């Protein structure tokens, strides 16, 4: 019930904010694993907690992959 609308909003936001320099395959994999991990941890509590922790897992995984990618593959001409 909450997955599709929340996923569209969160993925659009995180792709524009964090994942512009990451391949789409990496972005989808990270967001899937972050959502799954957060949702499973939250499911131990209740459904509203699962939605919240799944969303937070998604955002944290996206930010982590973007940070790792920028430091490893950063090719900004201004820094050369």
Give the N- to C-terminal CA distance of the chain in Å, as an integer: 48
> Using 50, 70 and 90 to split pLDDT, how confident is the model at 26?
confident
15 within 8 A of 27, measured Cβ to Cβ: yes
Residue pointed to by tokens 């955002």: 59
Alpha-carbon distance values, 31 to 46, 70, 79, 80 (Å): 21, 17, 29, 31
> Using 50, 70 and 90 to split pLDDT, how confident is the model at 70?
low
Query: Quick one: average pLDDT of 14-36?
Result: 84
* Euclidean distance between CA atoms 57 and 63, whole angstroms: 10
């Amino acid at each position: 019930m909450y997955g599709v609308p929340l996923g569209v909003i969160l993925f659009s936001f995180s792709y524009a904010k964090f994942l512009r320099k990451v391949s789409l395959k990496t972005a989808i994999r990270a967001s899937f694993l972050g959502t799954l991990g957060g949702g499973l941890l939250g499911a131990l509590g209740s459904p509203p907690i699962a939605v919240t922790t799944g969303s937070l897992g998604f955002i944290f995984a996206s930010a982590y992959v973007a940070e790792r990618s920028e430091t490893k593959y950063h090719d900004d001409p201004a820094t050369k």
